[in-house]
């Protein structure tokens, strides 16, 4: 069993679940029949043989012996797009109706859950507005399977900004994939509308489009520090926070100065930005997996080479960020690549400089904090939600184990065994 905080494997691993919560964790010796009106389950790992659910000597207790596996908290993806799938992003947002995209989003949510991701932050519906409210609520009500979700609705963007349908004929008036706001007053108005429609947090596009010229990163900022601060203040009024798509300077600095909750992508960070992120505890969410996918599935060799060079640049920047003590969280940007395959992000973060346990702690501890559930998920502890996965081998030594999840429980309900 993985003790996330200490980075150690506890063996044998046992977790006792009553209802949707963890009530004991191993090694455990039940001394008497539990007195409870809810189902009690003992989950066991790190044995030499695996068996199905079996009878227990304790009344009302089911034992699930998973054999030679490591029990872990459910994985967290802090940057997903449930309303996207592989293919031309702009075309799918134009050609597919919001009802169709919502149906596909429910399938994406199930795929992510079955891969072991029991909590996610949906970073924008890309033009589907508040449809993610319905998906989140249906999951919470037990109508469909999926991760615990924090949702944002559409992202917020400026006229002509990162997701403003810039490549279409203007005469056709193709709608933006984001909600438009050009100044502080409009930002506040949009946030209030999104909160009314069910958003848990606000996502803002702060930079784009990116170019890498002779080894130098270029990306225009979209909002000033003052405008971002207005967004942070308005979100905080109702207990919410702001996350930004921000790949480089000066937009990344403006975002950190304004007090955002995370800097997603973070390809280029100045020394001052890194210092502030370390001091304020603002994590970077690197999203390496999406760039690797784009490089490997580029429409032509030139486009593939461009993606590879940008990934190489980011990898070098990532090493500097680690050396500077920038906090990290794990987010894959899954959607433009197949849902359920995003554990590749863990492998890439190790490949580019983190130890396996550091990546696991970034995912489970920082990810839980980022989603606002630091005392609810991310660890196998008393009172936490029974979000539990099992993987073969030891993920603290071989991070690829998280790509082979073979048991998934969320809230005490087994979804995969």
| CATH of residue 387 | 2.30.40.10
Q: Which distant-in-sequence residues (6+ apart) come within 8 Å of 344 by Cβ?
A: 289, 292, 332, 403
Domain boundary among 263, 292, 325: 325
210 with 153, same domain? yes
57 plus 108 within the same structural domain: no
**Residue 313 falls within a domain, yes or no?**
no
| Average pLDDT estimate for 41-47 | 71
pLDDT computed for residue 31 by the predictor: 46
Asked if residue 385 belongs to a domain, the reply is yes
Domain carrying residue 59: 2-73+378-416
Whether 91 shows a pLDDT value over 80: the answer reads: yes
Alpha carbons 270 and 226: distance in angstroms, whole number = 19
- Classified as helix, coil or strand, 274 is helix
Residue 341 domain flag: no
In a domain? residue 340: no
Same domain, 84 and 224: yes
pLDDT average, residue stretch 340-352? 98
| Mean pLDDT value of segment 78-90 | 94
- Residue 129: per-residue pLDDT: 96
- pLDDT bracket for residue 25 (50, 70, 90): confident
Look at residue 152 and tell me whether its pLDDT is greater than 70. Answer: yes
Final residue before a domain boundary, out of 325, 340, 356? 325
Is the pLDDT confidence value at 329 over 60? yes
Shared domain for 45 and 83, answered yes or no, is no
135 and 267 inside one domain: yes
Alpha carbons 393 and 398: distance in angstroms, whole number: 8
Whether residues 13 and 81 share a domain: the answer is: no
- The percent of residues in the chain predicted with pLDDT above 70, rounded, is 93
Which tokens sit at 98? Answer: 């919001």
Same domain, 195 and 239: yes
Distance CA 223, CA 219 (A): 12
Q: From CA 62, how far away is CA 56, in angstroms rounded?
A: 6
Residues 43, 59 within the same domain: yes
- The answer to whether residues 36 and 129 belong to one domain is no
Q: Is the pLDDT of residue 26 over 80?
A: no
Paired tokens of 80: 């997903």
pTM of the complete model: 0.94
For 211-223, give one letter per residue: b (16+ CB within 10 A) or e: ebeeeebebbbbb
Give the span between the Cα atoms of 317 and 252, in whole angstroms: 13
252 plus 210 within the same structural domain: yes
Q: What distance in Å separates the CA atoms of residue 98 and residue 130, rounded to the nearest whole number?
A: 10
pLDDT in tens, 363-396: 999 999 999 999 999 999 999 999 999 999 999 9
By DSSP bridging, strand 148-151 and strand 156-157 are unpaired
**What does the pLDDT read at residue 50?**
38
Q: Is residue 146 part of a domain?
A: yes
Question: Please, which pLDDT band fits residue 86 given cuts at 50, 70 and 90?
Answer: very high
For residue 285, being part of any structural domain is answered with: no
Instruction: Tell me, yes or no, whether 273 lies in a domain.
Output: yes
pLDDT at site 40:
65
Write down the number of H helices and E strands in the chain: 12, 22
**What is the per-residue pLDDT across 260-317, written as a single tens digit (0 to 9) for each?**
999 999 999 999 999 999 999 999 999 999 999 999 999 999 999 999 999 999 999 9
Burial (CB count within 10 angstroms: exposed 0-12, middle 13-18, buried 19+), residue 316: middle
pLDDT band with cut points at 50, 70 and 90 for residue 79: very high
The total domain count for the chain is 2
Q: Which of 325, 360, 387 is the last residue of a domain?
A: 325
233/124 same-domain check: yes
Looking at residue 39, its pLDDT comes to 59
397 shares its domain with 263: no
Interval 226-230 mean pLDDT: 98
CATH number, domain at 106? 3.20.20.140
* pLDDT value at residue 46: 59
For the chain, what is the mean pLDDT?
92
Q: Write down the H helix ranges in 217-261.
A: 225-237, 251-258
Residue with tokens 């506890």: 10
pLDDT digits (tens, 9 = 90+) for 129-141: 999 999 999 999 9
Q: Single out the residue of 117, 146, 73 nearest to residue 345, CA to CA.
A: 117
Model pLDDT, residue 225: 98
Beta strands in 52-190 (DSSP E): 53-54, 61-65, 69-73, 75-80, 117-122, 148-151, 156-157, 179-180
User: 40 near 60, Cβ under 8 Å?
Assistant: yes
Q: In this model, does residue 216 exceed pLDDT 90?
A: yes
Q: In this model, does residue 4 exceed pLDDT 70?
A: yes
Give start and end residues of each alpha helix (H) in 324-373. 344-351, 356-361, 367-370
Asked if residue 35 has pLDDT above 80, the reply is no
**Beta strands across the sheet bearing 75-80:** 75-80, 117-122, 148-151
How far is residue 273's CA from residue 283's CA, in Å, rounded to a whole number? 11
> Tell me, what DSSP letter sits at residue 333?
-
SS3 368: helix
In a domain, 263, yes or no: yes
């Amino acid at each position: 069993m993985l003790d996330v905080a200490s980075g150690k494997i506890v063996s044998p691993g046992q977790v006792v679940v009553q209802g949707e919560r963890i009530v004991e964790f191993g090694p455990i010796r039940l001394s008497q029949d539990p007195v409870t009106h809810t189902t009690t389950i003992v989950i066991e790992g790190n044995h030499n043989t695996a068996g199905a659910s079996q009878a227990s000597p304790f009344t009302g207790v089911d034992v699930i012996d998973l054999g030679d596996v490591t029990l872990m908290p459910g994985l967290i993806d802090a940057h997903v797009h449930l309303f996207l799938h592989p293919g031309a992003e702009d075309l799918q947002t134009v050609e597919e109706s919001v009802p169709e995209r919502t149906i596909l989003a429910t399938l994406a949510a199930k795929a992510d859950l079955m891969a072991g991701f029991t909590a996610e932050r949906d970073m924008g519906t890309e033009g589907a507005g508040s449809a993610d409210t319905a998906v989140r609520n249906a999951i919470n009500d037990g109508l469909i399977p999926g991760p615990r979700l924090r949702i944002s609705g559409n992202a917020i963007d400026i006229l002509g900004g990162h997701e403003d349908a810039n490549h279409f004929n203007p005469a056709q008036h193709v709608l933006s994939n984001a909600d438009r706001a050009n100044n502080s007053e409009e930002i506040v108005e949009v946030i209030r509308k999104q909160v009314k429609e069910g958003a848990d947090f606000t996502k803002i596009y702060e930079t784009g489009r990116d170019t890498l010229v002779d080894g130098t990163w270029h990306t225009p900022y979209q909002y000033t520090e003052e405008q971002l601060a207005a967004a942070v203040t308005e979100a905080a009024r109702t207990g919410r926070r702001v996350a930004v798509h921000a790949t480089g300077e000066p937009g990344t600095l403006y975002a950190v100065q304004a007090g955002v909750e995370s800097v997603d992508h973070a390809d280029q960070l100045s020394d001052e930005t890194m210092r502030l992120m370390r001091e304020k505890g603002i994590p970077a969410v690197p999203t390496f997996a999406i760039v690797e996918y784009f490089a490997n599935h580029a429409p032509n060799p030139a486009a593939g080479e461009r993606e590879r060079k940008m990934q190489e640049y980011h990898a070098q920047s990532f090493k500097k960020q680690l050396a500077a003590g920038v906090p990290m969280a794990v987010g894959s940007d899954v959607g433009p690549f197949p849902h359920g395959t995003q554990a590749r992000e863990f492998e890439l973060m190790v490949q580019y400089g983190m130890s396996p346990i550091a990546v696991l702690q970034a995912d489970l501890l920082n990810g839980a904090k980022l989603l606002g559930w630091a005392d609810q998920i991310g660890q196998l502890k008393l009172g936490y939600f029974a979000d539990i996965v099992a993987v073969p081998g030891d993920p603290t030594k071989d991070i690829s184990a998280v790509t082979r999840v073979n048991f998934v429980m969320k809230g005490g309900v087994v979804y995969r065994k």
